Amino acid sequence: MVKIAPSILAADFGRLKDEVKKVEDAGADYLHIDVMDGHFVPKITVGPDIVKCLRPHSRLIFDVHLMVKEPERQISSFIEAGADLVTVHAEACAHLHGALTEVKKRNVKAGVALNPATSPEVLSYVLPLIDLVVIMTVNPGLGGQTFLKEILPKIKVVKEMLLKAGVPVEIQVDGGINPQVAPLAVKEGADVLVAGAAVFGTPNPAEAMQRIRESCKIGH
Ligand code: DX5
Ligand code: ZN
């Protein structure tokens, strides 16, 4: 069964605790927390203090997606705030192996995010360090964008790479997910689907998550 990671980027920040409870009660698997610094991407979103405030109110896996320059500088503060999984962008790290080592030594799961133009080759020498590969199916920085179907083959390439290496790494697909494209991503090998607009951007996030799950059963 595919896992769903609602992205808070599309949530009502004025009622974030309630919004998180809504998706948690509806069976979300991860809470995808999009962190943007205004440099790696133009928008600025949340910092570790928001994670710290949410932590006591949710048992969800806090999946922190660092869309920030020099993520090495932010890792420990998000982990101390309660992150269960920290994803850094391969494009943002001068020392990707070092950044992932920093995450792992704190007994937290580590992810690498690949922008649409980035080749999976960048994963070759860090596979033993990672728990998650985030394949961006939009250019990072905004919610509500259209899924880039030309990235679908990359999901299959990464899936084959992980199977060949025999590593227990999940594939998360992030950007533009909705019931129409979700089955396409799952068919290529996605394990976790991030959904912002298609969940929090709807009147009933619980129903929206169910629709995405159902679409993967039918379309799969
Ligand atoms: C984009 C973020 C995504 C985004 C997903 O930079 O990484 O997580 O918020 O939102 P939707 O599902 O609306 O594309
Ligand atoms: Zn994200």
Q: What is the pLDDT of residues 23-54, one digit of tens each?
A: 999 999 999 999 999 999 999 999 999 999 99
Q: What pLDDT does residue 58 have? A: 98
CA 145 to chain centre: 15
Instruction: List the shell of residues around ion ligand 2, using CB closer than 5 Å.
Output: 34, 65, 174
Note the pLDDT of residue 219: 54
Report pLDDT digits (tens) over 74-96.
Answer: 999 999 999 999 999 999 999 99
The CA-CA-CA angle for residues 36, 41, 43, to 5°, reads 60
Please check the confidence at residue 155 and state whether its pLDDT lies above 50.
Answer: yes
For ligand 1, pick from 34, 35, 112 the residue to mutate: most ligand atoms within 8 Å of CB.
34
Specify the pLDDT at position 220: 46
Could you tell me the distance, in angstroms and rounded to a whole number, from the CA of residue 195 to the centre of ligand 1?
7
Residue nearest (by alpha carbon) to ligand 1 atom 9? 143
pTM value is: 0.97
Residue 10 DSSP code = G
Residue 20 predicted with pLDDT over 50: yes
Lining residues, ligand 1, CB within 6 Å:
7, 9-10, 32, 34, 65, 67, 138, 140-141, 143-145, 174-177, 194-198
48-61 average pLDDT score: 98
Q: Which atom of ligand 1 lies at the shortest distance from residue 199's CA? A: 12
Distance 97 CA to ligand 2 centre (A): 21
DSSP codes, 159-218: HHHHHHHT---EEEEESS--TTTHHHHHHHT-SEEEESTTTTTSS-HHHHHHHHHHHHHH
- CA–CA distance, 122 with 76 (Å, rounded to integer): 24
* Closest residue to atom 6 of ligand 1, CA basis: 140
pLDDT of residue 39: 98
Q: How confident is the prediction for the chain on average, in pLDDT?
A: 97
User: What does the pLDDT read at residue 193?
Assistant: 98
Mean pLDDT of 123-142: 98
Counting ligands in written order, the one closest to the CA of 137 is: 1
Report the catalytic residues: 34, 174
